[in-house]
Amino acid sequence: MTRSQASAGGLAGLGVLALCFVMNALARGAGETYAVFLLPIGEETGWHRGDLTSVYSIYMAANGLASPFVGLAFDRFGPRILYVLGLLSLGGGFLLAGSMTSLWELYLSVGLMGGLGIASLGMIPASALISRWFDRQLATAMAVASTGLGTGTLVLVPVTQLLIERDGWRVAYGWLGGGVLLAALPIALLPWSAIARGRVGERRGGLSSNGTGLLPAVRGRPFWALFLVFFLTAVAVYSVSLQSVAYLVEQGFSPLEAASAFGFTGVLSIIGMLVTGTAADRYGNRITATVSYLCTIAGVAALFAMQAAPSFALVVVFVVFFGVSMGARGPIVSTISATLFAGRGLGVIYGTITTGQGLGAAAGSWLAGFLHDLTGGYDAGFLLSVVFVGTGIALFWSVPELAARRLQRTP
């Protein structure tokens, strides 16, 4: 390969990385806007908090359960069809949500259609594409793509709050849905044959590079260890994050201040995921994951302390520590998956692993809402988060495969 060819390939790889970043930002940002819809929908309808958080649970469950099929669709039909259908499902669901009159319609539009759409746009296709373009510093590349998750939260959550305050929550859903649908056309026109081909090729040494596929991977301990990491982490994060805006409002902050604080966790998650990627390449997965989990505990502790003395300083502590750790385990799991299960079957294998994240987020958000209605407060949800964080730390230090790292190839 000539120097000019290598340079062109490097630029193309950066373009693919940018595309994955943008799609992640759109998917995660749109999904996280439900946190600012929670209170206005409840005020208009009078539905209980548990009913409203169950919508988010269905959304995350649909996201998780669809993940294996999304990975299979990527492997079989390619990214163009997957991305376009994902945008149509997400945008169409949000448009329908703006005109809903009953809870089941919210389950269908935001829960089912939103979950299916976001599963098709997020890290499942991104991880498969990036693994075809990057070999060295794969964890860093995965982390860069993952920062789109935080960027989307930062941008779309406060913007959505402003739309709700100006036009009401129904019109805000219309704006979001229409914008997502408009993005489908330019995405469909991209040169997907070149994007999907990649430049790294199939890797040696992965469990699926010799054609073993999903079923042999499911029989092994590494698959279930990664599944549990996603599940435990998602319960810990989503038992807090979904209700954090409502919690801050109840502590005396304005809705826009609460939404902005939640949005700024996205800023810090960008930094956290970038640091996670480079730290995992340098210090290993176990130490990096442990530090990120301890940051999650610090953020939850700040929210808990706010009940005794609400202050802006504690909001800052929450935003900083919870933010830098929110999503930080994602690049680690995606990199370990690409290391252990390299090959064309990676899409369906990683998609099936991601089911753990969707199910954990569904369980965490529903349990937090249920515990809020049961106890009349948030303390039980905070305790739930801390317990699952501790279990995640123990898992990283007890399963040898979670220390796996990509070996550098000699040119």
- What is the pLDDT at residue 137? 67
Q: Does 387 reside within a domain?
A: yes
d(CA 31, CA 319): 19
For CA atoms 242, 246, 252, 253, the dihedral sign is: positive
Query: What is the CATH classification number for the domain harbouring 26?
Result: 1.20.1250.20
**Distance, first Cα to last Cα, the chain:** 11
User: What amino acid is encoded at 61 in this protein?
Assistant: A
Q: Does 1 reside within a domain?
A: no
d(CA 207, CA 343): 8
Confidence of residue 174 (pLDDT cuts 50, 70, 90): very high
Q: Does 196 reside within a domain?
A: yes
The pLDDT tens digits for 283-324 are 888 888 899 999 999 999 999 998 888 788 898 899 889 988
DSSP one-letter code for 110: I
- What is the pLDDT at residue 169? 92
The pLDDT tens digits for 372-405 are 888 888 889 899 999 999 999 999 999 888 886 6
Q: Does 68 reside within a domain?
A: yes
- What is the pLDDT at residue 327? 74
- What is the pLDDT at residue 220? 84
- What is the pLDDT at residue 209? 41
Higher pLDDT, 116 or 283: 116
Share of residues in the chain with pLDDT > 90 (%): 25
d(CA 62, CA 396): 27
Higher pLDDT, 193 or 7: 193
Domain assignment of residue 355, given as a range = 9-403
One-letter-per-residue 3-state SS of 57-87: HHHHHHHHHHHHHHHHHHHHHCHHHHHHHHH
Number of domains in the chain: 1
Confidence of residue 86 (pLDDT cuts 50, 70, 90): very high
d(CA 323, CA 273): 10
- What is the pLDDT at residue 233? 92
Neighbouring CB atoms inside 10 A of 373's CB total 13
- What is the pLDDT at residue 63? 81
Residue 406 has pLDDT above 70, yes or no: no
User: What amino acid is encoded at 403 in this protein?
Assistant: A
336 in Cβ contact with 226 (< 8 Å): yes
Q: Environment class of residue 42 by beta-carbon count within 10 Å: exposed (0-12), middle (13-18) or buried (19+)? A: middle
Following DSSP, what letter does each residue of 173-230 receive, concatenated? Answer: HHHHHHHHHHTHHHHHTS-HHHHHH-SS-PPSS-TTTTS--HHHHHTSHHHHHHHHHH
d(CA 300, CA 165): 28
For CA atoms 22, 25, 31, 35, the dihedral sign is: negative
Q: Does 3 reside within a domain?
A: no
Angle at CA 346, nearest 5°, toward 266 and 276?
30
Higher pLDDT, 232 or 355: 232
- Reduced DSSP (H G I as helix, E B as strand, rest coil) percent helix, strand, coil of the chain, to 5: 80, 0, 20
Residue 2 has pLDDT above 70, yes or no: no
Q: Does 409 reside within a domain?
A: no
What pTM, to 2 d.p., does this model score?
Answer: 0.67
User: What's the gap between Cα 194 and its chain centre?
Assistant: 26
d(CA 268, CA 281): 20
- What is the pLDDT at residue 226? 92
Higher pLDDT, 131 or 82: 82
List C-alpha distances in Å: 39 to 25, 252, 361: 24, 14, 20
The pLDDT tens digits for 206-215 are 444 444 577 7
The pLDDT tens digits for 205-256 are 444 444 457 778 888 888 999 999 999 999 999 888 878 888 888 888 888 8
Q: Does 146 reside within a domain?
A: yes
Q: Does 210 reside within a domain?
A: yes
Two structure tokens written together for 210:
């010799």
Higher pLDDT, 147 or 252: 252
d(CA 198, CA 125): 13
